[in-house]
Amino acid sequence: MQLLVLSILSVLLLFADYRFQQMAQVRSVLGSMTAPIQFVADVPSKVWRWVDRMSTDYEQLHKENRELKAQAIILQREVQKMASLSAEYIRLRELLNGSELIDETVMVAEVIGVDPDPFTHELLINKGYRDRVRVGQTLLDAYGVMGQVISTDRFSSRVLLLSDARHAIPVQVNRNGLRSIAAGKGRFDELELLNLHDTEDVVVGDLLVSSGLGGRFPFGYPVAVVTKVEHDPGEPFAEVLARPSAQLARSRQVMLVLSPQPETQQAADAEETD
Amino acid sequence: MRRRSGGGVIFLSLLVALILSALPLPEVAQGWRPEWVVLVLLYWIVALPERIGMGVAWLMGIMLDVLEGSLLGLNALALTVVAYFSLLLYRRVRMFSWLQQALFVFALVALNQILCHWVKGILGSSTQTLMFLLPAIISALLWPWVFVLLRGVRRSFNVN
């Protein structure tokens, strides 16, 4: 009897969660309640990193410091060029009556959890709707796009990674602007480009950047590098694989893009509950 | 009727199981994570079937769903069914040898994994490999240790 009642209750919940948007709020409340568990679960890796930090010796720090300084100078030089380039870009956009922003504001966040299910690629980050995180915002690391926020609660948010089998992102080839969609395959090191004809100009080594189409991801961030192009005469489309630029399985320091994106209904809903 | 005591200990052990389920693991070890919640629940059901039953299992399932970010009710459904079978068989399980107990644990964790996998499959995200059964093997191997540990805890804190 109890089995029947609880099973039916579970199935109803499953159905409600699958079909109705309102369940996001229930989930968000429950998520805030389980936040302490997530926090405690993260303690061992925090302690490990602390021990790691404490035990690096002077020599190593000195070496790292030197390398970082060298890297900073190189990056500074690129930024110098950026300033004039972006000014020029804005002038040209103005000539064309474009109103595209060239730079977005970002917020630094930290990964505090990885989905325990090996078949879903999701992360938990330590910023929630209290920190203006909204569903649909883009997550970056130092090397490229990582994924997008799919749910938020008060103190943390859940991010779906590019590599998840349920995820796809509109991209374009940086070299020639060829548009495609990069879909996840459930592997951290592989994305698949969908619907590219055999005759399209894409070669191994091409950089794919986010195209901004679809209004969810900002334009121009690196997404992946093409690793394999295969033409099978029997197939209507070429098989093109790419390796994500972002370190999906390793990055800990990440950035959230905060600039005004076209708001989804859910984001607006979250606004009201604040 | 015996006096009930040590609810706090049970609660704590279940909490520890939840924390272990959410513990970040390196990518290689992801698929090998034992189903801690099933193990701990199973122990308490076999030890104290009049206190811990399907209701607790269902609540743990909801907590697990929230922690894992899976659809609400997924783990709740699976754990309820697992709890049902353990409640049905707990008298026999107490008489089982280690090997039989380990096989029983394997069967139940496998049931849990298969139920989760089915529901996910129905709702559109599934994989082709049988990798999802790995936790069942690991859990069965871990069962004797979990059993001895929790029995020690139960005796020293006099939970009944």
Q: What is the pLDDT of residues A50-77, one digit of tens each?
A: 888 788 778 888 898 999 999 999 888 8
Rounded CA separation B61/B67 (Å): 10
Q: How many CA atoms lie within 13 Å of A59's alpha carbon, on the beta-carbon side?
A: 0
Q: Is A268 on the interface with B (CB under 8 A)?
A: no
pLDDT of residue A260 exceeding 60:
no
Structure tokens at A193: 């480009």
Segment holding A125, helix H or strand E: strand A122-125
Rounded CA separation B141/B106 (Å): 9
User: Does the distance separating the beta carbons of A34 and B66 come in below 8 Å?
Assistant: yes
3-state secondary structure A144-180: CEEEEEEEECCCCEEEEECCCCCCEEEEEECCCCCEE
Question: Quick one: how many helices (H) and strands (E) in chain B?
Answer: 6, 0
pLDDT of residue B75 exceeding 70:
yes
Q: Which of these, A39, A261, A5, lies nearest to A133 by C-alpha position? A: A261
Domains and CATH numbers, chain A: 168-244 (2.40.10.350)
Query: Which of B3-12, B26-35, B64-73, B149-158 has the highest mean predicted lDDT (pLDDT)?
Result: B149-158
How would residue A224 be classed by pLDDT, with cut points 50, 70 and 90? very high
Provide CB contacts within 8 A for A104, sequence distance 6+.
Answer: A218, A257, A258, A259
User: Does the distance separating the beta carbons of B69 and A115 come in below 8 Å?
Assistant: yes
Which has more pLDDT, A159 or A95? A159
The residue of chain B nearest to residue A44, with distances taken between CA atoms, is B23
B54-68 vs B36-47: helix axis angle to the nearest 10? 170
Which has more pLDDT, A95 or A124? A124
How would residue B69 be classed by pLDDT, with cut points 50, 70 and 90? confident
B36-47 vs B7-22: helix axis angle to the nearest 10? 160
Q: ipTM exceeding 0.95? A: no
Tokens 């972002």, residue located: A246
Q: How far is the alpha carbon of A228 from chain B, nearest alpha carbon, in Å?
A: 23
Please, is A254 exposed, middle or buried when counting C-beta atoms within 10 Å of its C-beta (0-12, 13-18, 19+)?
Answer: buried
Residues of A in contact with B127 (CB under 8 A): 119, 165, 186
Q: Is B125 on the interface with A (CB under 8 A)?
A: yes
Q: Which pLDDT does position A98 carry in this prediction? A: 58
Rounded CA separation A17/B76 (Å): 13
Residues of A in contact with B80 (CB under 8 A): 3, 6-7, 10
Question: Quick one: how many helices (H) and strands (E) in chain A?
Answer: 4, 12
DSSP state of A21: T
User: Does the distance separating the beta carbons of A37 and B22 come in below 8 Å?
Assistant: yes
User: Does the distance separating the beta carbons of B27 and A3 come in below 8 Å?
Assistant: no
User: Does the distance separating the beta carbons of B31 and A26 come in below 8 Å?
Assistant: no
Q: How far is the alpha carbon of A169 from chain B, nearest alpha carbon, in Å?
A: 18
Which has more pLDDT, A32 or A184? A184
pLDDT of residue A115 exceeding 90:
no
Q: Which pLDDT does position A67 carry in this prediction? A: 93
pLDDT for A234-256, tens place per residue?
A: 888 899 999 999 998 888 889 99
Q: Is B85 on the interface with A (CB under 8 A)?
A: no
DSSP state of A238: -
User: Does the distance separating the beta carbons of A2 and B72 come in below 8 Å?
Assistant: no
How would residue A97 be classed by pLDDT, with cut points 50, 70 and 90? low
User: Would you list the domain boundaries of chain B?
Assistant: 7-156
Rounded CA separation B57/B31 (Å): 23
Tokens 């026999």, residue located: B92
**CB atoms < 10 A from the CB of A82, how many?**
14
Report chain A's mean pLDDT, rounded to a whole number.
Answer: 84
pLDDT of residue B81 exceeding 90:
yes
Residues of A in contact with B125 (CB under 8 A): 119-120, 165-166
Report chain B's mean pLDDT, rounded to a whole number.
Answer: 86
How would residue A99 be classed by pLDDT, with cut points 50, 70 and 90? low
Q: Which pLDDT does position A101 carry in this prediction? A: 56
Pair A55, A177: CB distance under 8 Å: no
| Coil, strand or helix at A263 | coil
Q: Is A74 on the interface with B (CB under 8 A)?
A: no
